[in-house]
Amino acid sequence: MKSKIKGHDGKRVNLILTGASLVTLLFWTPAKDPFNIVKLWILILFGSYLLGQLISNFFDKSTRNLVKQLKGPYLAVGSFVLLSLVAGLMTDFKYTAFVGESQRNTGFIAYFFLSVFFLMALTDIDLKHVEKVFVFAIGLGTVMGLYGVMQHYGSDFIKWNNPYNSIISTVGNPDFAGAMMSILLVLSVASLFATSWNLVVKAAVAAQALMILIVIYWSNARQGLLSAAIGIGIFAVVFIWQRIRILGIISAAGGILVFFLGLLGIFQVGPLTHYLYKSSVTVRGYYWRAGIDMFSSNPWFGVGLDRYGAYFRSFRSPQYPVNYGYEITSTAAHNVLIQIFATGGIFVGLAYLSITGFVIYSGIQGIRKNQGNARLLVAGVFAAWVAYFAQSIVSIDNIGIAIWGWVLGGAVIGISRTRILEKLEEPQNKGRIVAKPQSSMTLAQPIISGVLVLAVFFLVIPMYKGETESQNVGRYAMPQTQSDRQSFHDLLKKTIELPLLNPNYEAELAVKFAQSGFVNESFNYLKQIQTADPESYTAPNIAADFYEQLKQPQNAIAQRLRLQQLDPWGAANLLKLAKDYLAVGNKAEAQKIGKKIIAMKARPEVIAEVHTALGV
């Protein structure tokens, strides 16, 4: 029986899930950032096409009633997008607000198109098409799992410059790989009990699930194992409850107990500490507290969309650099909820909470209202979303993972509602559901989507050029002759003036200007970076180092004072500042700074140098 929604014969569901799968899978080594920015491009291109379909839903009579039924989630997502746009316009540096932090790319553009995927999923994914979610997830999990096996055994076809565990799969980091595969593992396990597939297919899925579990274990991503356990546990409780209610109650109570013991173990308390605690949990505490302080200091609009990294140094605990080093920083709170409140403010945060609330409420209602396999299908998708949400408490919104959090969240609402299907009572059609003639909006939809895709190419192409040209520049050796220097200069100038160039790449190119002998131009570009982004730590840090190499300590002092404002607890910078004061003959100021470094209880090697260089 086909749904009356135009185009809703499963093709739009296929498009949604294909887009989500490709966002997770694709990377491209010619880009300077082969993972995150590439996933943003795929998100933008698929999202813009889906946006055309979403727009048509509001004007097409065959879908308008459905949109009205879903007005609560639509309003929540619309509010989130609108308030995020306001927060982005209020952000001090618009590139980061909209494109996002380097190697994160979770600015307004990413969340806008994630929202499009969410709305399309809740509109189009219903119980009739929900098995497609499981099929795509199993396919994606198989590819990621096999690639993880290859990486574990040293057979990766790409030689990554990878300081982590070898299993980075297609998302660039072992924690991300473990987290993503945990979500897919939940869907694989649920499909064994929720679908009516034959035994041969289920045996293959069971083997695939075992492979994914082993790869997650190899990745050493505890958050992946824990989020998978939470998701599978929720599904198991529903499965048992449906058959024997009393056992369901007992298993639910046991699951809650194990969950809290696991939570305590993560925080180094209780019997599960040895199995679940990692030192990275402690450092996350510093990230969370810094994010909470950012929100407390800027409650209305936050510190700016995706600007956590720009403000982390000024909000981090004084103990953080002592424990982890003065040059170690973070660009994310490693907790999505804290990150959104810290960078977007209270209104954006509450809108995000309302979306989360709709997903949780819909999931519970869908499990409660449905029976048999339908209930298990709802429970499987909801459990996978819970696995996403669980890992988001201790991780960042990596685009390759986040796309599934938003698609599954929308799907939970979609499969939990009751879709009203009208019947045409004409004699020849009595008792059958038939399609109405296509409306003009339905016919225009591909044109709208095509125009939107073409339009976003003007956004993607400049970013593509910036990524590839910056990567190409890095392959050149420093020129040795005057003619080579001029050619290299022209290449640098052409690259640094590309539109939408990542600010970090601009700083790297400015360094190359200086290294190839064009020092004045280097300083000019560093100044431009600081003017565009007053919170930039990289540009004044580079400029200070250059001035010191040029034996211009007075100019270096101005830059290091700016760095002190940006990072009050940066003892390494303060030590260099003190040495610059000594170089200009201001011993009193140098010793004053030295005493401040000692009072900060800086790292032993820094204290030792204070004593040696400053005589304090």
Same domain? For 573 and 495 the reply is yes
Same domain? For 158 and 240 the reply is yes
Residue 110 lies in a domain: yes
Angle at 89 between CA 335 and CA 74, to 5 degrees: 65
Same domain? For 398 and 492 the reply is no
Question: Within 13 Å, how many C-alpha atoms sit on residue 82's CB side?
Answer: 7
Same domain? For 411 and 537 the reply is no
Count of domains observed in the chain? 2
Residue 453 lies in a domain: no
Residue 2 lies in a domain: no
Give me the pLDDT at residue 3, please: 43
- Of the three residues 441, 472, 503, the one that is the final residue of a domain is 441
Same domain? For 399 and 491 the reply is no
**How many residues in total does the chain contain?**
616
Yes or no: say if 109 and 89 are a contact pair by the CB < 8 Å rule. no
Residue 463 lies in a domain: no
Yes or no: say if 285 and 320 are a contact pair by the CB < 8 Å rule. no
Same domain? For 238 and 313 the reply is yes
Residue 451 lies in a domain: no
Same domain? For 435 and 516 the reply is no
Same domain? For 436 and 517 the reply is no
Residue 481 lies in a domain: no
Residue 580 lies in a domain: yes
Give me the pLDDT at residue 362, please: 96
Structural domain span for residue 561? 487-614
Angle at 371 between CA 367 and CA 374, to 5 degrees: 75
Residue 584: CATH number of its domain: 1.25.40.10
For residues 213 and 288, give the distance between their C-alpha atoms in angstroms, rounded to a whole number.
29
Same domain? For 431 and 496 the reply is no
Q: What are phi and psi of 481, to 5 degrees?
A: -110, 165
Give me the pLDDT at residue 334, please: 95
- Of the three residues 441, 476, 506, the one that is the final residue of a domain is 441
Give me the pLDDT at residue 428, please: 46
Same domain? For 538 and 409 the reply is no
- What is the mean pLDDT, run by run of 10 residues, along the chain of 616 residues? 50 96 97 97 97 85 73 95 98 97 96 98 92 98 98 94 89 95 98 96 98 96 89 94 79 70 63 61 88 98 97 93 87 96 98 98 94 95 97 94 98 78 38 44 79 95 96 91 92 96 97 95 97 96 97 97 95 95 95 92 86 81
Give me the pLDDT at residue 108, please: 98
**Strand, coil or helix: what is 531?**
helix
Same domain? For 413 and 518 the reply is no
Q: Where are the alpha helices (DSSP H) in 153-278?
A: 174-194, 199-219, 222-243, 245-266, 273-276
Same domain? For 163 and 308 the reply is yes
